[in-house]
Structure 1
Amino acid sequence: MKNRSSFCKVSAGMLIFALSTPALLVGCSGPQPKTEGAIYDTGKVAEYAAPYVSYDTNYNTEEYNAVDESNFKAVATSPLSTFAADVDTASYANIRRFVNSGELPPADAVRIEEMLNYFHYDYPQPNEGEPFSVTTEISACPWNPDTKLMMVGMQAKSMEELEKKPSNLVFLIDVSGSMEEPNKLPLVKNAFLLLCEQLKENDTVSIVTYAGSDQVVLEGAKGSDSKEIMAAIEDLEAGGSTAGSEGIKTAYEIAGKYFKADGNNRVILATDGDLNVGITSEGELTRLIKKEKESGVFLSVLGFGTENIKDNKMEALADNGNGNYSYIDSRFEAKKVLSEELGANFFTVAKDVKFQLEFNPKFIKGYRLIGYENRILDDEDFKDDTKDGGEIGSGHRVTVLYEIVDNDSPMEIGSDLKYQTGVTNDSNDLLNIAVRYKEPDSETSKELNYPVTTESIKTEMSDNMKFAAAVAETGMLLRDSEFKGKSSYDSVVSLLDSIPNIKSDTSKLEFLLLVKKMATLTKEQ
């Protein structure tokens, strides 16, 4: 039987004390200007960051899925490249945490697509009646003179009307013993208090916690009852083992009970991923979350902590649960995810989004997808509506990079076929980008196609592409990729320094400072 406990209210004075305690929260002001957050003369990168401490690797039990980088493929034998969209950003924030603690991240903690999608890019808004726009740019590749770099940018429509609809939110919070550390449960509380500031009066909020067993701390509270919700959050304490699967089941059960047919229904899971009681294997968790997502409830996973973070389990939950995955390393990041980008992270405009690129062998003989290794699909899965894709939120951006080898390149691309047919098509398109998606309340996909012509080839990179190329190059350096070519941190810094307005974006300036720290750490190894 589930233990449904009540919560203890705290006084306004206690709440103010909690919000003003530096160990818990550095400031509690409203939205800050975009240019704040980076301090130029000291190299600090987040005004609201909790103290970063170096961890003892002897006790590090963090877990990451293996990332096997995609190799070059021959267009003659593999003309199609198919993968699911991914808007997760956890990897970048986790990398930042490592670097600020004086460590370089393990290679498998580096997912280049999540680094790319952490940042904002200036993509055009969609045409009227379309959920998103897709644009392309092709230019010289900074690290390989024999290839070109192609950027595909997707911009989802910002749907203010959708964001005004009522939300049914279930906060599923891990309060097990592993969450006792200052950068875990205290930061979780701060994050959800920030989210409470965004609640609308007609929203519904429930809170489920789990440790040795699950507890329903608050059920069906109205968004107008913000003091009650905040008091329940403040009263949370950590202790016990981690029976996450039971908490997941209860959270979805409650989300179903208060389901809003014309609203936003979402479970928000906050955890370090260290599930050690009940269903604990990644495979079993994947099967559980696939079953629960059939209810029409979406999922957001927020990762916290160091040393025992189970990134592999949190990524699997988000990827298989119609969801997204963010890593919260500071209040600065909590504000970004739960306030500044609330619409993108919590209001879905398209689900099961898939890409399929078809390269024309008349012009291109090879290609390599950079990142998205864990999102690659079989080509036949593209038109199969039972196969899961990615979820895109209001105003979300998706950035994809390919190295492409044109027919004039001296680079050789191997082929597994003994006999090949010649190029017989008359198309002057370089390639075609097909995108399939479902509307949030539909199970039938729609398809859009975007032919790419020579008009996408640029003699000089745009600022968008310069930054994306610098991010990808950094990811390859961190992974010590066999495809990094002549990459170096110096070349990354030079590329970033060539972007005139980089200091006007806090996150991009922060990245420049991090790259310089990475260079120093690499030299010290």
Structure 2
Amino acid sequence: MKVVLQTFFILLFTVQAYAQKEYAVSGIITDESGLPLPGVNIVAKGSTTGTQTNFDGEYAISVTPGAILSYSFIGYVIEERKIRKSTTISFAMQPDVNAIDEVVVTALGTKRRKDRITTVSQEVRYEQLSQANNPSVVNSLSGKVSGLTIQNQKTTRIVLRGNRSLPNQGKKALIVIDGVVSSEQELSAINPNKINEVNVIKGAQGSALYGSQGANGVIVVQTKNAIIKQPEALSNEAYTKFHENKFKSTILSPLSTFSIDVDKASYSNVRRLINNGQEIPASAVKIEEMVNYFDYVYPQPQNEDPFSINVEQVITPWNKDTRLVKIGLQGKTYENEAIPASNLTFLIDVSGSMNSANKLPLLKSAFTLLVNQLRDKDRVSIVVYAGAAGVVLEPTSGKHKDKILKALNNLSAGGSTAGGEGIELAYKLAAKNFNKNGNNRVILATDGDFNVGASSNSDMEDLIVQKRKSGVFLSVLGFGMGNYKDDKLELLANKGNGNHAYIDSMQEAKLIFGKEFGGTLYTIAKDVKIQLEFNPSKVRGYRLIGYENRLLEDEDFVNDAIDAGELGSGHSVTALYEVIPVGVESAYLDPSSELKYTKNTVRENTSDDLLTVKFRYKKPDGDKSIEMVHVAPDAIVSASEDMRFAAAVALFGMQLRASQFYNKTTSKDVVALAKSGRGLDKAGYRAEFIRLVEAVDL
């Protein structure tokens, strides 16, 4: 009998194990044009098993045989696939032409065109709520909105299906009542008869409108007596105006001199403006920052110099009569453990202007990513400023992350903005704890809206120029919209031996503090200058695309007292020149008059050189520049994928600025060029760029 029982249980467990066997299903989901779709929701019907595609459209999920997988993405037809023998399911989703068919006016008061928005919005009017005859607004909504679930247990919980959830935040939808973020309890307390309308926003636009809090969907409620304060107009944002570089004659202007720029703020800011359906000021478009947002394949330096030099020349995609030259620098990459100990001072704006969801709350989440990567040998201090400045965390080892995060998460916004006082205190604290053999840096996080004490751009410049002599570097992180002061933050970064980034989402925070952690925090070369001399027997004229705010006088190149840009670990710098070959007539070049005392002639030159490029840089702790020279031959090659993509980004920037040089191209030309240069694109940033361009009709 004992043997029989043992046999029975063995068989039972075997049957159960077989019944519970799961298949690992994987694949790639693309759109109708073959581009990967990130964020596609994949759910096994009738179960709680689900996942989403990554940036490359890839996914993997474990399900039982016979399960039916449902694939859904905003703006596309829902697809279903039954699991049989195949464990690989890949296909292209088709657009749902009826999914988005109206103009939506959101609670922020910004009109969005349907061709610029990837969201589903459903409106519930007062009459529909009244018909429910229910004293609770929450319960009245039940059944009125697709994908809306009301969970009544000890507390009411509102969930919108089809939205990505943030770590440790569950899947609760954000509640906004009369323009103010509110709780579900506050919503439940409102009499349905006092509500004018409810607008439910699902999809990625929830994040674009309300920051990370809106990632799981937003329920926007407007009461009949609402007095909604409209957000500050875009005109209250400040950008430095500049004039686009023109073509120059190699005879009259033989040298082109500028400082490198590894800032990427312009691209993420333009992305925010496009996603929000807002007009893009020409001065917000800095082509060099857009081009340098993306990674390009350059070799690591092979000698003691901190960077490699790379040159490529092709026929200009938007003008067959000119040539496009790409100059690429690749900084040496140091593993995080090889980076010297860091003495970091977080300087955080907690004034009233930082109170919105895409400012201080997003800032806290972004800095959490940084804190979690600190090593025991790193030390962090936190200085805050509003009406006054103060220290909320004395220097603390990276070993005590809980203590650092507690101080960070306890911050709240309110008051005016004494930015100058905060900078003074942060540099003072950084100098007090200066690590002679380490990396000393102040990380300023703000919207730049300083209004107390030293606050003008000239005041800030004088202050930062004085402080950079201490050997403390500066990183400037911009947040928010409406009153964002790009001009001030760029100035601080440029004058403070630092870099400038704009964080519009957690995705951008992960790029700055995750993938580019070392480059963001550790400078390998400072005061990096570039000077090009084109061979006048090969090149008649040239134009530097972008870098208008980084131009230097030719004599500044050898002047070590002149400040220039910094290069971080693993960072690269790309510059593009459009050149007019000798023998090509061009309306872009003004005819030069004959000089009386100087001949406009070219010295006899049999060289096959296209150009000579010189670089000067200082070591992070040095005062004397080191010079490098690179000569590039006059060779036109088939454009690499990197060259095609960089050209696409530059062309898009020219179109946004209404440049005189984009040669009547359209956004379709940009998309075609970018697709041809998309390449491997593991992180999906190039695919994202293509989608942005497709959303803008130029």
TM-score, normalization: structure 1?
A: 0.89
| Contact 1:144-1:486 at 8 Å conserved across structures | no
Aligned runs of 1:120-159 on 2, under 5 Å? 120-159=295-334
Q: List aligned pairs for 1:218-229, cutoff 5 A.
A: 218-229=393-404
Q: Decide which of 643, 646, 671 is 1:465's aligned counterpart.
A: 643
Residue-by-residue CA offset, 1:103-147 (whole Å, 9 max, x unaligned): 241111000000011100011111221211111111111112221
1:51 partnered with 2:221: no
C-alpha distance in 1, partners of 2:561/2:543?
Answer: 27
Name the CA distance, whole Å, in 2 between partners of 1:320 and 1:378.
Answer: 17
- 1:390-449: CA deviation from partner (whole Å, max 9, x where unpaired): 000001010100100110212152255522332224333111010000000101000001
Alignment deviations for residues 357-394 of structure 1 (CA, whole Å, 9 cap, x no partner):
01111111100000000000000000000001100000
Which residue number in structure 1 is paired with residue 382 of structure 2? 207
| Alpha-carbon separation, structure 1, partners of 2:676 and 2:546 | 24
> How far is 1:518 from its partner?
1.4
Measured against aligned partners, the alpha-carbon deviations of 1:463-502 in whole angstroms (never above 9, x if no partner) come to 0100000000000111111111132101111112223635
Counterpart among 394, 410, 417 of residue 235 in structure 1: 410
- Count of matched residue pairs: 487
Preserved contact between residue 645 and residue 678 of structure 2 (Cα < 8 Å): no
Tell me, in whole angstroms, the C-alpha distance in 2 between the residues paired with 1:315 and 1:201.
32
1:486 equivalenced with 2:664 (yes/no): yes
* Cα displacement string for residues 244-282 of structure 1 (whole angstroms, at most 9, x for unaligned residues): 001001100010111111111000000000000111111
Aligned to 1:513: 691
Partner of 1:8: none
Q: Give the alignment of 1:85-96 within 5 angstroms.
A: 85-96=260-271
DSSP-derived class of the 1:52 partner? helix
CA 1:208–1:36: 2 relative to 1, 3 Å? farther
Change (3 A) 1:148 1:265: same
List per-residue Cα deviations over 1:206-241 (Å, max 9, x = no partner): 000000000100011111111000000000010000
Equivalent of 2:367 in 186, 192, 195 = 192
Query: Whole-Å Cα distance in 1 between the matches of residues 287 and 242 of structure 2?
Result: 10
The answer to whether the 8 A contact 1:165-1:264 is kept is yes
Structure 2 residue matching 1:120: 3-state secondary structure: coil
The answer as to 2:441 corresponding to 1:266 is yes
Change (3 A) 1:121 1:503: closer
Instruction: Look up the match of 2:458.
Output: 283
Does residue 638 of structure 2 align to residue 421 of structure 1?
no
**Once structures 1 and 2 are overlaid, which stretch shifts more, 42-51 or 126-135?**
42-51
Q: Secondary structure of 1:51's partner?
A: helix
Q: Deviation at 1:161?
A: 7.2
Q: Secondary structure at the match of 2:542?
A: strand
TM-aligned CA distance change 1:59 to 1:221, over 3 Å: same
**Hey, what does 1:335 align to over in structure 2?**
510
Residue 449 of structure 1 is matched in structure 2 by: 629
For the Cα contact (< 8 Å) 1:502–1:508, is it kept in 2?
A: no
Equivalent residue for 1:26? Answer: none
Shift of residue 35 of structure 1? 3.5
Match in the other structure for 2:56: 35
User: Match for 1:148: what amino acid?
Assistant: R
One-letter amino acid of the counterpart of residue 495, structure 1: L
8 Å CA contact retained: 2:339, 2:518:
no
> What is the rounded CA distance, in whole Å, between the counterparts of 2:333 and 2:664 in structure 1?
39
Corresponding residue of 2:561: 386
CA contact (8 A) 1:187 1:331 kept: yes
Is the contact made by 1:162 and 1:347 (CA closer than 8 Å) also made in structure 2? no
* 8 Å contact kept, 1:168–1:203: yes
Aligned to 2:655: 477
Which deviates more from structure 2 when the two are superposed, residues 103-112 or residues 154-163? 154-163
Q: 2:529 aligns with which of 354, 358, 378?
A: 354
Give 1:13's aligned residue: none
Structure 1, unpaired ranges of 5+: 1-31
* Residue number in structure 2 paired with 1:410: 585
Instruction: Find the partner of 1:431 among 593, 611, 617.
Output: 611
**Residue pair 1:125, 1:155 contacting (<8 A) in 2 also:** yes
Q: Does 1:110 align with 2:131?
A: no
Listed as ranges, the matches of 1:71-82 within 5 Å are: 71-82=246-257
Q: Which has the higher contact order (CA 8 A, sep 6+)?
A: 1
- Distance in 1 (CA, whole Å) between partners of 2:407 and 2:297 is 40
1:284-336 residue CA offsets vs partner (Å, 9 max, x unmatched): 10111011000000000000000000000000000110000000000110111
Q: Give the aligned residue type for 1:330.
A: S
Between the aligned partners of 1:417 and 1:374, the Cα distance in structure 2 is 29
Is 1:368 equivalent to 2:543 in the alignment? yes
Distance 1:162 1:226, change over 3 A: closer
Provide the C-alpha distance between the structure 2 equivalents of 1:448 and 1:284, rounded to a whole number of angstroms. 36
Structure showing the higher helix proportion among its residues: 1
| Structure 1 residue 163: Cα displacement | 4.2
Structure 1 distance, partners of 2:482, 2:58, is 26
The residue type equivalent to 1:441 in the other structure is D
Letter in 1 for 2:622: S
| 1:172 and 1:207 in contact (8 A); partners too | yes
In structure 2, the CA distance between the partners of 1:345 and 1:176, relative to structure 1 (3 Å rule), is same
CA drift at 1:162: 7.5
Inter-CA distance 59–422: structure 2 relative to 1 (3 Å threshold): closer
Runs of 4+ in 1 over 2 A off after TM superposition: 32-50, 53-60, 159-164, 412-421, 425-428, 499-505
- Secondary structure, in 3 states, of the residue corresponding to 1:53? helix
| Residue ranges of structure 2 left out of the alignment (5+ in a row) | 1-52, 60-71, 76-116, 120-162, 167-203, 211-229
Distance 2:304 2:315 in 1: 34
Greater alpha carbon shift after TM alignment, 44-53 vs 376-385: 44-53
**C-alpha distance 500-190 of structure 1, shift in aligned 2 (>3 A):** closer
User: Is the CA contact (8 Å cut-off) linking 1:163 and 1:343 kept in structure 2?
Assistant: no
Separation of aligned partners in 2, 1:439 and 1:383: 16
Q: Secondary structure at the match of 1:382?
A: helix
Decide whether aligned partners of structure 1 residues 79 and 198 sit closer, same or farther in structure 2, where only a CA change above 3 A counts: same
SS at match of 2:590: coil
Secondary structure of 1:501's partner?
Answer: coil
| Whole-angstrom distance in 2 between the partners of 1:177 and 1:163 | 40
Comparing 137-146 and 105-114, the one that deviates more: 137-146
* Preserved CA contact (<8 Å) 1:496 1:502: no
Per the alignment, do residues 366 and 59 of structure 1 end up closer, same or farther by CA in structure 2, a change over 3 Å counting? closer
1:345 aligns with 2:523: no
Q: Which has the higher strand share?
A: 2
Deviations 1:38-82 (A, max 9, x none): 998658699777622398574641000002101000000001000
